[in-house]
Chain A
Amino acid sequence: MSLLEVSDLHVHFDTDDGVVQAVDQVSFGIASGETLGIVGESGCGKSVANMTILGLTRGPRTTIAGRVMFEGADLLQMGGEELRQVRGNEIAMIFQDPLSSLHPFFSIGDQITESIRTHRDVSRANARARAIELLGMVGVPEPRRRVDDYPHEFSGGMRQRAMIAMALANDPKLLIADEPTTALDVTTQAQILSLLQDLQDRLGMAVILITHDLGVVAENADRVLVMYAGRIVEDGAIDQIFYDPGHPYTWGLLGSLPSLDLHPHDRLPQIAGLPPSLLAPPQGCHFRERCPHAFDRCLQVPPLEARLPDSPAHRDRCWLSAEQKRELRVADGRIGLRERKSPAS
Chain B
Amino acid sequence: MSSSAPLLEVTDLVKHFPIKAGVLFDREVGRVAAVDGVSFTVAKGETLGIVGESGSGKSTLCRTVLRLIEPTSGSVRFEGRQLVGLGQRQMRPLRRDMQMIFQDPFSSLNPRKRVEQIVGAPLKLHGIASGAGLKREVQELLDRVGLSPEHYSRYPHEFSGGQRQRIGIARALATRPKLILADEPVSALDVSIQAQIINLLSDLQRELGLAYVFVAHDIGVVRHVSDRIAVMHDGKIVEQGPADRVCSSPADDYTKKLLSAVPVPDPRHRR
A residues adjacent to B (C-beta < 8 A): 41-42, 156, 185-190, 193-194, 212-219, 238-239, 242-243, 252-260, 262, 264-265, 267-272, 274-275, 343-345
Contact = CB atoms under 8 A, between A and B. Distances in A.
Interface stretch (B72-80, B85-93, B130-138, B256-264): B256-264
Q: DSSP majority for the B interface? A: helix
A219 B259 CA distance: 15
Contacts of B190: 41-42, 212, 275
B192 A270 contact: yes
Interface string B182-200: 0000000011111110110
Contacts of B258: 186-187
B192 A190 contact: no
Pick the 9 closest A-B CB pairs, nearest first: A215-B263, A258-B224, A256-B195, A270-B195, A41-B190, A190-B261, A185-B53, A214-B265, A268-B195
10 contacts: A156-B54, A189-B261, A216-B263, A218-B267, A219-B267, A238-B267, A259-B264, A260-B259, A268-B195, A274-B163
Contacts of A213: 191, 263
B53 A218 contact: no
Nearest to B248: A260
A187 B195 contact: no
Contacts of A215: 262-265
A187 B262 CA distance: 8
Interface of B: 53-54, 146, 148, 160, 162-163, 190-196, 198-199, 202, 217-221, 223-226, 243-244, 247, 257-267, 269-271
A277 to B, nearest CB: 10
Given A186-B217, A239-B267, A268 B224 contact: yes
Contacts of A274: 160, 162-163, 193
A268 B198 CA distance: 8
Given A215-B265, A264-B243, 18 more contacts: A41-B191, A42-B190, A185-B217, A218-B263, A219-B267, A219-B270, A219-B271, A242-B266, A242-B267, A253-B192, A256-B191, A258-B224, A259-B266, A260-B247, A264-B223, A264-B224, A265-B202, A274-B163
Contacts of B162: 274
Contacts of A41: 190-193
A267 B202 contact: yes
Most chain B CB atoms below 10 A, which of A42, A189, A256: A256
Contacts of B195: 255-256, 258, 268-271
A181 B217 CA distance: 14
A255 to B, nearest CB: 8
A187 B260 CA distance: 9
B217 A260 contact: no
Contacts of B220: 257-260
A185 B54 contact: yes
A188 B160 CA distance: 29
A59 B130 CA distance: 53
A75 B223 CA distance: 46
A264 B228 CA distance: 11
A215 B53 CA distance: 18
Contacts of A343: 146, 148
Contact of B199 (A218, A252, A270, A275): A270
A259 B219 CA distance: 9
Nearest to B226: A264
B186 to A, nearest CB: 10
B225 A218 contact: no
A344 B146 contact: yes
Contacts of B269: 218-219
Nearest to A212: B191
A344 B200 CA distance: 10
A218 B225 CA distance: 24
B196 A272 contact: yes
A218 B217 contact: no
Most chain A CB atoms below 10 A, which of B190, B259, B271: B190
A271 B247 CA distance: 27
A135 B260 CA distance: 26
A215 B264 CA distance: 5
A270 B194 CA distance: 9
Most chain B CB atoms below 10 A, which of A254, A268, A271: A268
Nearest to A337: B192
